[in-house]
Amino acid sequence: MRISLTKSIDFEAAHWLPTFPEGHKCRRLHGHSFKVDVVVEGEVDPDKGYLIDFGEIKVLTAPIVDALDHRLLNDIDGLENPTAEMLAKWIYDRLAPDLPILKLVRVCETCTSAAEYAGE
């Protein structure tokens, strides 16, 4: 049986978007309660009855949460322009080597705005 699972993580962070036009509200420093969905996909092991322990994903995401939580995202290497799109790719690139069944990373900046990255 092939299945997709989602593990959600969250963190609080500030950013400003340097490529937005002068005067745009997102160009000013502001913060979000970010929600990130880590989606994995694969075949369920019939002997175990599950794809992966959600706890394994939590362990893999813990260093990422630590690097982002209560930070100014613009100060983090690779996130100088920390749009939701760039943040999704940044997180994906850090998880993919240790999580080969990673399907996509979805970053929700607000309840109504999200970006997804599924690799190249």
Residues 6+ positions from 99 with CB-CB distance below 8 Å: 38, 40, 57, 60
Residue written as token pair 């690779």: 78
The answer to whether residues 90 and 73 touch, using CB atoms and an 8 Å cutoff, is: no
Beta strands in the chain (DSSP E): 2-15, 30-43, 71-72, 102-110, 113-117
Active site annotation includes 26: yes
Q: Length of the chain in residues, anyone?
A: 120
Catalytic residue selected from 109, 111, 116, 120 = 109
Catalytic residue selected from 12, 30, 70, 80 = 70
Separation of alpha carbons 77 and 34, rounded Å: 19
Catalytic residue selected from 26, 108, 111, 116 = 26
Active site residues: 26, 70, 109
